[in-house]
Amino acid sequence: MADNAHKRPAKAAGTYRIGGDLEVDRLGYGAMQLTGPGVWGDPKDPAEAVRVLRRAVELGVTFIDTADSYGPFVSELLIREALHPYADDLVIATKAGFTRAGPGDWRPLARPEYLRQQCELSLRHLGLDCIPLYQLHRIDPTVPLADQLGELALLKQEGKIRHIGLSEVTVEQIEAAREITTIVSVQNLYNLADRHFEDVLEYCERNDLAFIPWFPIATGNLARPGGPLDAIAAEHSATPAQLALAWLLRRSPVMLPIPGTSSVAHLEENVAGAEVKLTDAEFEALAKAT
């Protein structure tokens, strides 16, 4: 059993039940980088993208996060090509709420008819009958929140999605959303170097909502030579990125980091971060570092 755990390092992260019933290993994989430059078009090496996805599952990853806007649809189609039919324990999360007009161009759009269309397309592109976790990629300021989330609630009632999540939101927005429908997850920017959504993380902890930090391995100035990350990384024979992931996993039991990459070697390095165990002193030193 120990040998098997070593071969599947993501298992060292422990588990969390999204919505109380979707059990995932807490270190997941974010599929945004499996596209062309500017998150637009096909990847330079589609075969490597397929290898990355298959290797992630081999390493014990059971939570893959994507979005209709990655490509658009390129990421979802690659996931289907690489992993369909899906393993019973694999949870795929996707999102809608952005429209794309070119590389690096992102415009919030969450009219009910658009969200419904994108959900139907994601079901088809992923080869699913029901999307386990469907996230509103951004709240559209031009559409009443009740209309946006009301449509997702209808899709849930129809059995097309199982759970609803939010992305890049404030505590006030989460509370407003929960008045309309059940919310099980929040995906916000959060990492060791940027913790301005600390209040959102704490709210998720108190209410047992999954907190999915995007851009999780940013280390900024903390990884400078001789800096706090550098010294502790040397102690563990680990990279600063692995330490950043280990810190996130230690920070909260509701934390589900989703580091992304388009390279198998980088994927293996990231997932090994689940096996790095920080001492209390190391965790505190990094928490206080600037």
Tokens of 248: 């996130």
CA 33-171-194 angle, 5° bins: 45
The verdict on whether 70 is a catalytic residue reads yes
- Please name the residue that has the structure tokens 């019973």: 88
CA 210-186-240 angle, 5° bins: 75
125 in Cβ contact with 77 (< 8 Å): yes
Catalytic member of 16, 29, 70, 190? 70
Task: Give, in order, the Cα–Cα distances in Å from 147 to each of 115, 143, 150, 169.
Answer: 10, 7, 5, 17
115 in Cβ contact with 80 (< 8 Å): no
With residue 213 as reference, give the H or E element that holds it.
Answer: strand 210-214
Catalytic residues: 70
